[in-house]
Amino acid sequence: MTQTPIEIYEDGFNHCSTIHPYQDGVLIAWYSGSTECSDDQSVYIVFINHDTHSEINRSPTRIRIGDKTGNPVLWQNGQDIYILWSKFEDDDTMFSLADRWKYCSIWVQKIDVCDNQILLSKPERIAASNQHLLGRCSVLTFNNTTILPLYDELAGTCVLVDGTTFKELSRFGVGMIQPTLWTKRNKVHALARNFRSTNKKAQYVCSSDINNWSQPVDTNIYNVNNSLCVVSWGRSEIIIWNNGLSRARLTLGLLNKDYSNLSAFPIIVVGVSYGAYPSCTIINNQLHLTFTNYKRRIEYRVYKQSDIRKAYRNSIRFRKPRKGSNSITEKTETEFL
């Protein structure tokens, strides 16, 4: 599999990355510290210029954002690029690691890059931060509205926020957190982890107007406390997820076309040792992917469309579809990407 060089940040705890195209490169943000939820935890952001970047394992200069910050989200609104991040609003002796994420405020900054240097505006606390919200990575635009998919870990529900006004649009799910969103057939679709579920599978919902959501349905897609990412590419939806009951098989694959019985078809095993919390984007017909490995390093990879096509063909050569099945293995190559 052809890849660009992998950027490695391995100087402590590194987790929960997010990626977004910018100018002639990408912005990548994540959080780092001595341990998760420690007082020295901070968000970091880098700009990788694809025109000048060629050295293997080269770590660009990173910019630190705030104290006790985490869970960054990058997105674009018009011509402007923003970063959203969470900040702990408690003393680290008050709560356990899991509970500390429940007491956060949400902040936002505008990003500019000049001569490959990142410039950030003054941070602003957004209107929705009176709820204790956390972010993930799959921002999208639907009906001319930029949607930030956040979640309220205290209440256990997914929260959609307007990316321009920062006002809450709607909520969905009971026990559902860490959503990933995409659009298809004039609807917004979402997969999310349900921390109250015992089957370790993601749940699926959809909406045609952002306000009224379908009832959550269990899928056949594993989501073992590690998040997942879906991105539309051509006629297909690429999904990055851990294909099993551990974090040891981070996998690139395709969602099937049957949304009433949603499952994923694995194509490429991206990482075999604790790959989690992926974020991806499409740039110039290539898939740009970032994820955390062992919570120690942030990895960045690029997959060409031709390489994914080849891996897809190799994957289905030895899979004979059942008679009458609507499985993804029966789709022609023109329906994929």
Label residue 61 exposed, middle or buried (CB < 10 Å: 0-12, 13-18, 19+).
exposed
Whether residue 147 has pLDDT greater than 90? yes
Residue 184 lies in a domain: no
Q: DSSP letters along 133-201, please? A: EEE-S--EEETTEEEEEEEETTTTEEEEEETTT--EEEEE-SSEEEEEEEEETTEEEEEEEETT-SS-E
pLDDT in tens, 102-144: 778 889 999 998 887 889 999 998 855 556 678 877 899 999 9
What is the pTM (predicted TM-score) of this model? 0.88
Residue 325 lies in a domain: no
Query: What are φ and ψ of residue 129, in 5° steps?
Result: -80, 0
CATH number at residue 11: 2.115.10.20
Amino acid at 285: N
Confidence of residue 313 (pLDDT cuts 50, 70, 90): confident
Residue 153 lies in a domain: no
Tell me which residue of 199, 93, 214, 203 sits closest to 156, measured CA to CA: 203
Q: DSSP letters along 54-119, please? A: --TT-----EEE-SSEEEEEEEEETTEEEEEEEEE-S-TTTS-HHHHTTSEEEEEEEEEEETTEEE
Whether residue 174 has pLDDT greater than 50? yes
Sign of CA dihedral 112, 118, 119, 121: positive
Residue 182 lies in a domain: no
41: containing domain: 1-125
27 in Cβ contact with 20 (< 8 Å)? yes
- pLDDT reported for residue 98: 62
Tell me which residue of 314, 228, 307, 289 sits closest to 264, measured CA to CA: 228
What's the average model confidence in pLDDT over 162-172? 91
Whether residue 204 has pLDDT greater than 70? yes
Tell me which residue of 259, 260, 280, 282 sits closest to 270, measured CA to CA: 280
Distance separating the N- and C-terminal Cα atoms of the chain: 17
- The set of residues, in sequence order, having a beta carbon less than 8 Å from that of 13 and lying 6+ positions away, is 32, 33, 34, 35, 36, 38, 41, 295, 296
Residue 121 lies in a domain: yes
What percentage of the chain exceeds 70 in pLDDT?
Answer: 81
Distance CA 262, CA 4 (A): 31
Residue 47 lies in a domain: yes
- pLDDT reported for residue 258: 84
84 in Cβ contact with 57 (< 8 Å)? no
B/e letters for 254-289, b = 16+ CB within 10 Å, e = fewer, are bbbbebeebbbbbbbbbbeebbbbbbbbebeebbbb
SS3 20: strand
Residue 281 lies in a domain: no
Residue 7 lies in a domain: yes
pLDDT in tens, 246-289: 777 889 999 988 888 899 989 988 866 678 889 999 998 899 99
Domain total in the chain: 1
Query: What are φ and ψ of residue 333, in 5° steps?
Result: -65, -30
Residue 302: HSE in the Cβ half-sphere, 13 Å Cα cutoff: 15
